[in-house]
Amino acid sequence: LLWMSIYQYVYLDKVPNHAIINEAVEIAKERGGYHNGNVVNGILRTMMRSDLPDFNEIADPKKRMAIEYS
């Protein structure tokens, strides 16, 4: 669930961030209860607050590829 939400955030520009979080939290609550919804909410909000790294800023091509494709 988290991986799908992160994919939506990174690659799908048409989906607003609040919708990504809301849908993920609702699914987590349905499948695992209220606590799981809180955990998913916290993880996704923290991830969306921090800047995503720009892989092009890494000078060493081997290191860049290792991080980008890991």
User: With a cut of 50, which residues of the chain have pLDDT below it?
Assistant: none
Question: What is the Cα–Cα distance from 25 to 43, expressed in whole angstroms?
Answer: 10
User: How far is it, in rounded angstroms, from Cα 16 to Cα 12?
Assistant: 9
Q: Write down the pLDDT at residue 10.
A: 87
Task: Give the pLDDT confidence score for residue 2 in this predicted structure.
Answer: 94
**pLDDT averaged over every residue in the chain:** 91
User: Taking the CA of residue 53 as centre, how many other CA atoms within 13 Å lie in the half-sphere pointing to its CB?
Assistant: 7
Residue spans of the domains in the chain: they are 2-68
- Predicted confidence at residue 36, as pLDDT, reads 95
What is the amino acid identity at position 38? N
pTM value surpassing 0.75: no
pLDDT value at residue 21: 97
Q: Specify the pLDDT at position 55.
A: 79
